[in-house]
């Protein structure tokens, strides 16, 4: 598979949303996944948004970010037709390398408990599971 991995560009937006829908990722089209929000996020230096492309078509994404202490792996998605070929592994490793360039030495991912492929993937990549941690959020509005 001839894959190019490159930075996300705004012209990828529609295809990326389509991909995230095909991958059943939770979407907030009026909130943090809106075109305006993604464009705003891209201007932040701590956001590293990579896409994988085959024959000009985006088939994978990873959006890494960091808070200065820890790197976060988000929005990892591979088109169902291209799974099982090591693409997610490649995307995660490249995202980690980009975070390392920013001085990060610890990486983390939040995974829903029934998402077995992702759990297996992160275990395979050496991530340690923390059953003792509970995840809390607070939103300024439900669409965010
Ligand atoms: C999870 C996902 C990104 C994996 O993509 P992928 O390109 O198929 O994964 P890879 O081929 O790189 O797999 C790497 C390793 O992950 C594990 N893995 C991946 N998919 C798996 C599955 N369905 N079942 C069990 N293990 C799996 C394997 O250990 C695999 O290594 P191996 O092939 O040497 O056994 C893909 O299934 C996906 O897009 N899922 C929907 C979106 C999602 O849930 N994203 C994660 C949010 S945190």
Domains, the chain, with CATH or none:
3-124 (3.40.630.30)
Q: What does the pLDDT read at residue 144?
A: 87
CA 141 to centroid of ligand 1, rounded, Å: 32
Report the C-alpha dihedral over residues 69, 34, 57, 111, rounded to 10 degrees.
Answer: 40
Predicted pLDDT at 3: 97
Determine the pLDDT at residue 70: 98
Structure tokens belonging to residue 79: 């088109």
Ligand 1 pocket check: which of 83, 90, 116, 129 to mutate, most ligand atoms within 8 Å of Cβ?
83
Residue 135 and residue 129: Cα distance in Å, rounded?
A: 13
pLDDT tens for each residue of the chain, 144 residues long: 899 999 999 999 999 999 999 999 999 999 999 999 999 999 999 999 999 999 999 999 999 999 999 999 999 999 999 999 999 999 999 999 999 999 999 999 999 999 999 999 999 999 999 999 999 999 999 888
3 lines ligand 1 (CB under 6 A): no
111 Cβ closer than 6 Å to some ligand 1 atom: yes
Q: Is the dihedral of CA 8, 13, 19, 25 positive or negative?
A: positive
- Of 118, 99, 17, nearest to 58 by C-alpha is 17
pTM listed for this prediction:
0.97
| CB 27, CB 75: distance < 8 Å | no
């Amino acid at each position: 598979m001839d894959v190019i991995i490159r930075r996300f560009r705004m012209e990828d937006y529609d295809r990326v949303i389509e991909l995230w829908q095909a991958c059943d990722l939770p979407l907030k089209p009026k909130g943090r996944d809106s075109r305006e929000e993604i464009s705003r996020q891209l201007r932040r230096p701590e956001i590293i948004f990579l896409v994988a492309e085959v024959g000009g078509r985006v088939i994978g994404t990873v959006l890494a970010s960091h808070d200065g202490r820890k790197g976060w792996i988000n929005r990892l998605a591979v088109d169902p037709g291209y799974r099982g070929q090591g693409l997610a592994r490649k995307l995660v490793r490249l995202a980690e390398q980009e975070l390392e360039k920013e001085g990060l030495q610890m990486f983390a991912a939040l995974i829903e408990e029934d998402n077995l492929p992702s759990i297996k993937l992160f275990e395979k990549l050496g991530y340690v599971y923390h059953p003792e941690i509970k995840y809390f959020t607070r939103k300024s509005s439900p669409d965010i």
